[in-house]
Chains A and B, each alone.
Chain A
Amino acid sequence: MNFLSIFVLIPVLMMVGLFASNNRKQLLTVMTIGASLLMIMSATLTYMYLTERAAGNVAEMLFMADTVWYAPFNIHYSVGVDGISVAMLILSSIIVFTGVFASWKIDPLPKEFFLWFSLLSIGVYGFFITTDLFTMFMYYEIALIPMYLLIGIWGTGRKEYSAMKLTLMLMGGSALLLVGILGIYFSSGATTMNLLEIAKLHNIPVEMQRYFFPLTFMGFGVLGALFPFHTWSPDGHASAPTAVSMLHAGVLMKLGGYGAFRVAMYLMPEAAHEMAWIFLILTGISVVYGAFGAIHQTDLKYINAYSSVSHCGLVLFAILMMNETATTGAIMQMLSHGLMTALFFALIGMIYGRTHTRDIRLMGGLMKVLPFLGVSYVIAGMASLGLPSLSGFVAEMTIFVGSFQHTDTFHRVLTITAVSSIVITAVYILKVVGKIIFGPIQDKHHEELTDAVWYERVAVSVLIVAIFAMGSAPFWISSMIGESVIPVIGQLIK
């Protein structure tokens, strides 16, 4: 049994455990134990990974394993991790862990909720550990489908509409993706769908790349909220229950960036070079557009969803800059955005659970009655607008410095455009903070609200600690990612 497969196995065991439990207490015990195990696993993995690297192992992926599971199409279950995957696995573990605590009081049907939740985690973990294109795609789908039910059943507001919209748009994306993946496989002439092997062969004809690169990139881009395909994000996030918003914005949207980088750009570097400018413009628009879009919203979740569009746009933007620094920044931005957006959604869920509204016009002065949540919200806001010592800053700065290293005006002008988003971000973050957290209490009923309880405090504190940790000591994670980015960038520069 490969070490990495345990990441998929734990959620499976969690599901078994959930089947066997009869009441909320047992369910929560199973979930907590499972999520903690996942946390421990990812910590262990990080440790093992770093020791292995320190010992001088320079292989592109570590802990590799390979099993054929469908021979006729050469589909393997092959796993392996590099620094990027490790970072993503840490992120996933943190979000799953906090997600469990954020959905402590989920109602109705807690058992079913946690079952789907675990299934979602299987998809997420599987996606990050696998190196086989088809298996990757399969996990991607596993991660998408539960979303429909999770939003449709446990959501709020126009949940059916949003669930349908989200699922259809993401499925549309994955249709493009499937075409892209099959195109890659068949035109590469490889004998497996292992992406390392395809990358090593590196003989997809450029004409073919021109077809399949946009398909694959856009397929992943839909999940990464690429500009014209981002509209599922506001509605989907607004309707989703707290933990699902967290997991979706925190981890699932990262699948987009990760995939775009790992699959689209890594395997089709020539087309990536040729077409980067189109997508750079689109992502550049995403960054600014999402930020401006957020200013005008009045629903907390919408604000945050648009902010996610902006921040995830920055991820794809940096990936397309195709140099080591910017790409490292992109991965760090994924991490940082995952953490802070999860924190945001957790807090919004908790606030909504108390005030029963997410309209910023109807709230005010929550700091007075909910000091813990208020302070956490301010911290999340500060992380989002890139305050040094919080995670957002290191990621954004790495991206900006990296992107600015291009010698041509086009890339640099775009970088400056992207830089301008930090001001707009400040505007909408402060608008919200000033309106709902500070200021006088808007609604008499809000005076009787009670502050966070212990499980909410656990969820929020873990995320805040992670944000602080990443923001204050970015060096190790930056170097871990930076080393792993090199092979991909090497492929691109070649």
Chain B
Amino acid sequence: MAQQIIFYVLAVIITVFSILAVTSKQIIRSATYLLFVLLGTAGLYLLLGYNYLFAVQIAVYAGGIMVLFIFAILLTNKPGENVKTELPIRRIVAGLTSLAGLAFCGHIIYWNVKKISVLTEMADITPQQLGRMMMGTDKYQYLLPFEMISILLLACIVGAIMVARKR
């Protein structure tokens, strides 16, 4: 029962703050709401038993990315200035589109997804396990993506520096 309660609390948090994040007039607030959403997502991971993901989500997203965001906002935004949005007509169109998509996907989920509510028990995932999976090339082992990501990260670092560097 506790699980349900926690889930619904998190669900409400995520829903409300994601909507607020995209409708807020001040960009710094949007960023803050986004942070809450990310934290809520981390909570969901924890709820599902993926502790490692929870940690990564907090560290990378809430820690790393959000800091970047806030720096960027502070660098580019004059304080107190509101974020410009599109014309009302376009907002209405966008809203309707989103709602249509929502309804459509909701329809699919409601009618097509089997209602699985049983969470089979799962052994804890140990760091050793994760490490081994990440370091092998067999089936269910992810060395190649891992290395790809590492190269990507490197490229990003270099790229980001190159792009943002003052000439």
A and B touch in the complex (CB under 8 A): no
Binding site for B on A (CB under 8 A): none
